[in-house]
Structure 1
């Protein structure tokens, strides 16, 4: 075990948790996994974070913040329609699949665990705020029928609803078809003949 100061060790373990949650999922990530990868005893996780749950929750906040930053950066310089699609999580983009899998799991677990419900609500709010900001900043390219905030929430409701239907097998079709439907819905919400 390499000696690190407390802050550096916390940061190391938090980054390991981010990576494991993203690849393995919430429930499958264990104290042993994190400790092994960090080269520390399992007791260090409780000592530094209070519990495995607290570490995983901190990692979820970090994952959410990074996703929002990444999507916002990716939307810069795109056409308004492409920018909104990017912020909503283009279903044909393979990078989104691991993120969707993790947040689907968190959504299910949030029904039982208050702390995860708070994290899930935070993630949804920050996602909606990001979409709302984008719409507001590009309002000259859109004919918004409602406020940017309400429009953002409807767009998110549409994509999450479609994802749930697809995941449950209730709605057939490929990710390409989902993208096509999402683009149609974006155009419905943000009508403007100039939007490409």
Structure 2
């Protein structure tokens, strides 16, 4: 009887290897051969699932965004808009090893996307979805005197900047959360 192969799991195994390499050495050092070695598989297997490095990178980026979404979807239905906003933004901050790895990868993708339009489109779609969710929550909260779209864009930019500060050890995780909470207080209080 032929063995059933979980193709999604194999693609995720390869994407995880790519993310470890990108975090350790940067995307410019990532190749199909390096990913195969990191994952402990043949280069042929990598090529079976991904024709190009860009295709593999786009999948890995999508996987990071899916994981952030899955973690933030764990919020309770009875959560307030403020709690939902804070929960999502905390999932984006590099507050543990998993999120630090994801942040390293996203930063590498951002640099790579500056010259690769196919990667940039995935980042744009993801950021637009997050801004839309945040703006919807800001509208639902009834926060007075703010433009929800601009405030959502500002919150994402804040978290991006705080993430860089934490990754470069200029801020502690606790200081980043305190800064986020003070900005949320400005919007919601």
2:173 to 172, 175, 180: 175
Shift of 1:44: 3.9
TM-score, normalised to structure 2, is: 0.75
Q: The residue matched to 2:146 in structure 1 has which SS?
A: coil
Query: Which 10-residue stretch deviates more, 145-154 or 29-38?
Result: 29-38
Asked if 1:148 is matched to 2:145, the reply is: no
**Gap change, CA 1:173 and 1:66, over 3 Å in 2:** closer
2:132 to 129, 132, 147: 129
Unaligned stretches of 5+ residues in structure 2: none
Query: Superposition RMSD on alpha carbons, in Å?
Result: 3.0
CA distance in 2, matches of 1:145, 1:44: 55
CA distance in 2, matches of 1:73, 1:133: 18
Deviations 1:121-173 (A, max 9, x none): 2222222223233334xx2x44243343332111112222333355567xx44
**Gap change, CA 1:134 and 1:67, over 3 Å in 2:** same
Q: 1:45–1:52: 8 Å Cα contact kept in structure 2?
A: no
Q: What residue number does 1:115 align with?
A: 118
Shift of 1:182: 1.0
1:24 to 21, 25, 41: 21
Q: 1:64–1:123: 8 Å Cα contact kept in structure 2?
A: yes
Task: Tell me how many residue pairs correspond in the alignment.
Answer: 181
Q: The residue matched to 1:89 in structure 2 has which SS?
A: helix
CA distance in 1, matches of 2:76, 2:148: 17
CA distance in 2, matches of 1:74, 1:24: 31
Q: The residue matched to 1:93 in structure 2 has which SS?
A: coil
Unaligned stretches of 5+ residues in structure 1: 192-196
Query: Which 10-residue stretch deviates more, 127-136 or 57-66?
Result: 127-136
TM-score, normalised to structure 1, is: 0.73
Q: 2:162–2:176: 8 Å Cα contact kept in structure 1?
A: yes
